[in-house]
Chains A and B, each alone.
Chain A
Amino acid sequence: MLRLLGTAAVALLALTACSAPATPGSTSAGGAIVVATSGEPDTLNPILGYGSDGAALIFDGLVARDAENNLIPALAAELPAVSADGRTVTAKLRTGVTFHDGGPLTADDVVFTYTSVLDPAVDSTLRSDLDMLTGVTATDPSTVVFTLKYAYAPFLQRLTLGIVPAKALSGQDVNKSGFNQKPVGTGPYQVTSWTPGDRLVLAANDTWWGGKPANSGVIVAFVADDNVRAQRARSGEFDAVELAPKLATGFAGFTVHKVPTADYRGVMLPMNDPVTGDVTIRKALNAAVDRQAMVTGVLAGAGEPAYGPVPPTSPFHVATQPAPVNLDEAGWVAGADGIRAKNGQRAEFTLMYPATDSLRKELALAVTADAKKAGIEVKPEGLTWDAIEPRMKNDALIMGWGTPYDPDFVSYKLFGGQFAGQGFFNPGSYRSEVVDKALQAGRDNADPAERKTAYATFQQQLAADAPWVFLTYLQHTYAVRDDLAGVTPRVEAHEHDVANSLWWNVHTWTRK
């Protein structure tokens, strides 16, 4: 019977060995650059949400971003032109661009890409980002015209979306197409193979319109666990790896890059709560938290203090400093236990955080300790997102978000009065006419100077009302092998994975 088991096992091995997904041979993969990341996409189709912020490696948008996050033309021959009323945007396509399969890029491909995102039958996560778009048409094979419902100043920022070939997808169910796993784009790399859970192998597209990539290809290894990723990097498998700040030590032969981001963490304070609804309490908290201690202690130095939603790296940033407030004068008087009270209301509130996120947990604990010194009792509570969601209107929450591209992107919905109490948009129901006007002006005005004034007003009013206590901007940490040249960190968004990480310009990296 042992023989029976043995035979069965051998048969099993033979069977699985045969069905093993073999990676098609590629002669150039030897010189490829290997990067490792924790986040694996579930699709490689831009229509469904892959690489919507550009730098998708496999795809190009009409526009792209340079090292300073300034918009530059990509598939568009020059930056698209916006009409005087701001409601018509015209893009002229670069000529002679071909997809990886050799097919030419035409205006129809651009139209197909954007209309698919707008199609309710397509499971796109980007549709609400394009709320302002009513139609896309091709007026000739190299001209695309976007029609908007209303003037939207940062619209060009939305044109980083990768363009897919209409030929490969039209007439199919976009949600279920094989294209989503093996896509065809115009980008510097083409997909050789994707083994989900393991790696994505990309080969250089030598006929890329932007010039032949400086290396033969890129391999993106997907390693979800932080410790495992660090260990595999130490054993020399990866050229560049994303790491948790505390794990980025002791890498011989590697340089650690701490990349600035617009990715902030802060305490959202609900207006409905009798304690956090009191502006003096909010301002007292804002002044009481020791942001530098959080950067040093919680973030292991990989971050910087945050005072508002517009990052210091943004041209729209305005510096604000929280001023101390006198809680005694406002009627909040310390009791026997050191906790203040006003008219019988104790200065106490619950602070929720997602229990699995250790960073947010530590920030919540730091806020709790700092608040206590100011006579405010914070009760931290770790929960799942599903338990947090129904309570956000009444309980404080450690939230995180942020984008370096335009102040409108996140802030319009996060602080706009019209979004009060709508899911994650403005859960604390903050309302300010000044802020609403400023956000609208920033959205409507095409003039950069006027936008700057509008967002300055917005940031000052936010500092005065303190609906959030902003704590820190994170730095994303990467270790890169010393023999690589061409690494150019740029300010990153909250999200960073295959497309949008330190390796955004990996097509220019070379080995020394």
Chain B
Amino acid sequence: MIRVIRRRLAFALPVLIATSIGMFLLGAASPIDPAKQYAGAAAFTMSEENLRQIRENWGVDDPLPVQYARWLGNLLQGDLGWSTSRHQAVTEVIAARAGWTLLLIGITLVVVLAGSLLVGTLAAYRRGGLLDRGVRTVAYAVESMPVFWLALAAIAVFALGLGWFPAGGLTDVRATSTSFGDVAHHLVLPVTVLAISQAPWFVLFVRDSVAESLREDHVLAARARGLAGRTVLFGHALRTGLLPFLTLIGTHLPELVGGSVLVETVFSLPGLGAVSVQAALGSDFPLLAAITLITTAVVLTANLLTDLAYTAADPRVRIDG
């Protein structure tokens, strides 16, 4: 196990370096001037000299290798650099926002996993039945809906129409503190929308793989031995069907992150979503690089955890082969 982790870490480092270099190259290919982005409308009345001075202060006109070396040097000293689009240290920008994005993604993941396991398994158990056909129809329909559309529809129905939930924000706009209940109330709609938008993949996958394993010999044998339906379903069929499910979670994580960007924007949540868009539009290399690296690291870690869980769940699997 330790060897696996060590090998993965050795592999992760080159991936992270390659990602960050790619990020800088893509950023350099963009024609956007960060100083003009920072100045906003004032850019139109500012002298070229004024803009040049700001660019010089930031060193954004330096050759790309110089900028990269400076960024890497700072990183090694634990400094993520200076965000030109937010005019704040990158660590401060991320510290203020990453928690909310993790919270959104974390709860959504739990909801999606629990929900899709339950619904998928039930659909598989009564495959061909009303529930099964209904679930599949809805899943295909939802899969074709853009997440921002779902979000706006949810606001129209549940916030404006019924008035059950707030239409956006993290807390009540007048709240003087960040209380648990208030945040929870505000997160219901975003989490539900994000979970529903991600659910079809998982539900259909669970349904198919459980349906398949219900036909496998050992499950049929268990049935033949007269074991109760529930024991067969959860003890035998689900267990075999679930192993590939772990892989799906790992590979699907980037999409969840992508979806959260849109959901955060529609529900005006102060997470990393809006700020990443701002960083990209403002050619803010340090902030963009940091967010990209963190996302890559999260995905790599998730993949590692998935594989570790896989080995734990099925001793026959040897990923260190």
Tell me the bound Cα distance from A414 to B212 in angstroms.
Answer: 72
**Minimal beta-carbon separation of A304 from chain B (angstroms):** 21
CB of B246 within 8 Å of the partner chain: yes
Alpha-carbon distance between A200 and B170 when the two chains are bound, in angstroms: 13
Please choose the segment from B123-131, B138-146, B269-277 that sits at the chain A interface, where 4 or more of its residues have CB less than 8 A away. Answer: B269-277
Known A48-B87, A386-B32: A128·B167 in contact at CB below 8 Å = no
User: With a CB–CB cut-off of 8 A, which chain A residues contact B66?
Assistant: none
A-B contacts, 16 of them at CB < 8 A, read A9-B106, A13-B103, A17-B103, A43-B87, A125-B46, A128-B49, A197-B270, A197-B275, A228-B168, A231-B156, A231-B167, A234-B167, A401-B44, A409-B45, A413-B45, A422-B48
Interface size on A, residues (CB 8 A): 76
Stretch of A29-37, A66-74, A77-85, A96-104 that contacts chain B? A29-37
Q: Does A279 contact B (CB under 8 A)?
A: no
Identify the closest chain A residue to B92 (Cβ). A181
**Chain A 345-384: CB-based contact to B (< 8 A → 1; otherwise 0):** 0000000000000000000000000000000000000001
Classify chain B's interface size: 35 or more
Q: Which of B172-180, B197-205, B218-226, B251-259 contacts A (4 or more CB under 8 A)?
A: B172-180
Interchain CB contact under 8 A, B50 and A127: yes
In chain B, positions 220-258 with a C-beta closer than 8 Å to chain A are: 242, 246
Which chain B positions have C-beta within 8 A of A231?
A: 152, 155-156, 159-160, 167-168
Are A5 and B168 neighbours in the complex by a CB distance under 8 Å?
Answer: no
**Chain B residues close to A by CB (< 8 Å):** 31-33, 36, 38-50, 53-54, 57-58, 82, 85-89, 93, 95-97, 99-100, 102-103, 106-107, 109-110, 113, 117, 152, 155-156, 159-160, 163, 166-171, 173-178, 180, 183, 242, 246, 265-271, 274-275, 305, 309, 312-313
- Asked if B169 and A198 sit within 8 Å, CB to CB, the answer is yes
Instruction: Check B174 against A32 for contact (C-beta < 8 Å).
Output: yes
B42 touches A232 (CB 8 A): no
Alpha-carbon distance A19/B178, docked complex (angstroms): 11
* Mask: chain A, 424-457; 1 = CB below 8 Å from B; 0 = not: 1000000000000000000000000000000000
User: Residue A237 contacts which of B49, B58, B167 (CB distance < 8 angstroms)?
Assistant: B167
| Contact, CB under 8 Å: A25 / B163 | no
Asked whether, in the complex, the Cβ of A16 is within 8 Å of the Cβ of B102, the reply is yes
A17 with B270: in contact, given A123-B54, A235-B166, A386-B32 (CB under 8 Å)?
A: no
**What is the bound-complex CA distance between A428 and B319, given in angstroms?**
66
From B41, B86, B99, B113, give the contact of A20 (CB < 8 A). Answer: B99
Q: How far is the CB of A172 from chain B (nearest CB, A)?
A: 14
Binding site of B, secondary structure by majority: helix, strand, loop or mixed? helix
Instruction: Return chain A residues, CB-CB under 8 Å to B39.
Output: 49, 125
Interchain CB contact under 8 A, B268 and A198: yes
Q: By the criterion CB–CB under 8 Å, are B168 and A9 in contact? A: no
Taking a contact as CB atoms under 8 Å apart, the answer to whether A128 and B166 are in contact is no
Q: Which residues of A contact B110 (CB under 8 A)?
A: 5-6, 9
A59 to B95, CA, bound (A): 28
* Interface pair B89/A221, CB less than 8 Å apart: no
Verify B107–A196 contact, CB threshold 8 A: no
A120: CB under 8 A from chain B? yes
Q: Contact between A235 and B106 (Cβ–Cβ < 8 Å)?
A: no
Q: Is the CB of A16 within 8 A of B99?
A: yes
A175 / chain B contacts, CB cutoff of 8 Å:
57, 87
